[in-house]
Chains A and B, each alone.
Chain A
């Protein structure tokens, strides 16, 4: 089979992007709804720093913490996608068959569809929040935007996106074995939300939990990019964090391919 070029996958990304564009108003209302949690957290931290009597907690000043919780939302834009849901749905409905007989790689189809969603989120939600965060830091605290930090953030967030994509792809393949993925999806969301540090920085976890999390891919999704943005990971430390991300991309990517080849042999499509 002749290998399809990257160009033949672009329409998949464009398709998702455009269909999202047509539900703009609803989309933004949902974003506002989701942000209520972040604002509640904002006020909790405000009270915590007032009550703690110290300027920094686990190395985070109040200013760092505000930046942290909002930048987590930006990083989340890179890793909030439904690859597992798409794969699971297509397996269940049998429509996966159509994608299997085409001379294209299924993995790439899903990747590009998700990419359309991620680019949309990053453009219309992530970047505005990033600009507001930088603006507030500059105008009310005199902290100039750190361009290297921003570049590092984007690089690291893209790695986070790839890790999550493969993680999700593997997860979606479980639909070949289990028929309902909805509950599992909710469970996965909850676990990732907490263990990736998007609710509270990993430093606030007890020591034993930090030791365990160091061997898991969750840190790499949200925590690493945000720490790079904050300048808490610098120089060699930032390079090391990025290399750990590369390791996870490779490990999960290779496992995904192997599991896919195994799962596809098991596939039975009902009806014609």
Chain B
């Protein structure tokens, strides 16, 4: 474990150096991200001018779910951004060889090789929204809620990673799978709103097939007092474990059938 942490910091530091060259881009990107999120919230606000509540969910409850959705997404984005590149060009260009040649777990090396500071935008916005909504909602927040919240966010991040891992691993056979990964990833868009507004098919799909519901709506509902602890937190952990095991198995199968592109 210690070795992994040491390696991770070393590799991240290397990557950070390359990013420092593009500081202005990073800052402008961050501002752009705040604008995008701000407009999303303005949209919700304008919608709520016309209704007392959305299928029984108040404005601040919706804001809470919306904010919560940012947190697991941010953590995953921060660490596993290289999966996008894997699905996009690493395998086609034969650049994957490098990950097999070092005495490290290849998946760990892939994650450690790049880290994405853009994710800080999501993290900051998520925390701001969650805190704002919580102060307005006057919910009971005890030790169980705090611990459960942290666990649910971490498990949600693992679910994000697992889904990305599954679709990125397809690239071992397809050479490129970025567009399929994109479609799957975009499904998360549905889960930042109260999911009772959708029909059954969408709900079942996002709970059991591509389980993004567990990255936002379900655990957030538990904190809002609408779901049980068992479903909101324990089931989230269970789904995270099952999907990560599945994703990792697929990744390993992919490693076996990987053929380098060299000459």
Interface positions of A (Cβ within 8 A of B): 25-26, 29-30, 32-34, 36-37, 39-40, 43-44, 46-48, 50-52, 57-58, 178, 180, 182-184, 186-187, 189-191, 193-194, 199-200, 204-206
Q: A182-B29, A190-B36, A205-B46 are in contact. Are A47 and B55 (CB under 8 A)?
A: yes
Say whether B189 faces chain A, with CB atoms less than 8 Å apart.
yes
Would you list 9 pairs from A and B whose C-beta atoms are within 8 A, ordered by A residue? A25-B179, A33-B182, A43-B197, A47-B54, A51-B52, A52-B50, A183-B29, A183-B32, A194-B42
Contacts of A184 in B (CB 8 A): 28, 32
Give the residue of B32, B47, B176, B179 whose beta carbon is less than 8 angstroms from that of A190. Answer: B32
Which single residue of chain B is at the shortest CB-CB distance from A38?
B189
In the bound complex, do residue B47 and residue A200 qualify as a contact, i.e. CB atoms below 8 Å apart? yes
Q: What separation, in Å, do the CA atoms of A40 and B193 have in the docked complex? A: 8
Contacts of A48 in B (CB 8 A): 47, 50-51, 54
Give the residue of A30, A50, A200 whose beta carbon is less than 8 angstroms from that of B179. Answer: A30
B170 CB, min distance to chain A CBs, angstroms = 12
Main SS of chain B's interface residues?
helix
- Name the segment of B18-26, B75-83, B130-138, B153-161 touching the other chain: B18-26
Contacts of B179 in A (CB 8 A): 25-26, 29-30, 33
B197 CB, min distance to chain A CBs, angstroms = 4
Main SS of chain A's interface residues?
helix
B136 CB, min distance to chain A CBs, angstroms = 20
B189 CB, min distance to chain A CBs, angstroms = 5
Contacts of B24 in A (CB 8 A): 178, 180, 183
Q: What separation, in Å, do the CA atoms of A32 and B50 have in the docked complex? A: 30
A52 CB, min distance to chain B CBs, angstroms = 5
Chain B, 185-200, CB within 8 A of any chain A CB: 185-187, 189-190, 193, 197-199
Give the residue of A47, A58, A183 whose beta carbon is less than 8 angstroms from that of B27. Answer: A183
Say whether B104 faces chain A, with CB atoms less than 8 Å apart.
no
Contacts of B252 in A (CB 8 A): none
In the bound complex, do residue A36 and residue B50 qualify as a contact, i.e. CB atoms below 8 Å apart? no
Which single residue of chain B is at the shortest CB-CB distance from A182?
B25
Contact with A along B23-61 (1 / 0, CB 8 A): 011111101110110010011001101111111000000
In the bound complex, do residue B35 and residue A40 qualify as a contact, i.e. CB atoms below 8 Å apart? no
Contacts of B198 in A (CB 8 A): 43
Say whether B183 faces chain A, with CB atoms less than 8 Å apart.
yes
In the bound complex, do residue B54 and residue A51 qualify as a contact, i.e. CB atoms below 8 Å apart? yes
B181 CB, min distance to chain A CBs, angstroms = 9
Q: A51-B51, A51-B52, A51-B54 are in contact. Are A40 and B190 (CB under 8 A)?
A: yes
In the bound complex, do residue B197 and residue A46 qualify as a contact, i.e. CB atoms below 8 Å apart? yes
In the bound complex, do residue A180 and residue B22 qualify as a contact, i.e. CB atoms below 8 Å apart? yes
Contacts of B186 in A (CB 8 A): 33-34, 36-37
Q: A51-B53, A51-B54 are in contact. Are A33 and B183 (CB under 8 A)?
A: yes
Q: What separation, in Å, do the CA atoms of A30 and B185 have in the docked complex? A: 11
Q: What separation, in Å, do the CA atoms of A194 and B32 have in the docked complex? A: 13
Contacts of B190 in A (CB 8 A): 36, 39-40
Contacts of B32 in A (CB 8 A): 183-184, 186-187, 189-190
Give the residue of B28, B43, B55, B187 whose beta carbon is less than 8 angstroms from that of A36. Answer: B187
Lowest 10 A-B CB distances belong to which pairs? A183-B28, A29-B179, A187-B32, A186-B32, A33-B186, A194-B39, A183-B29, A47-B197, A26-B179, A51-B51
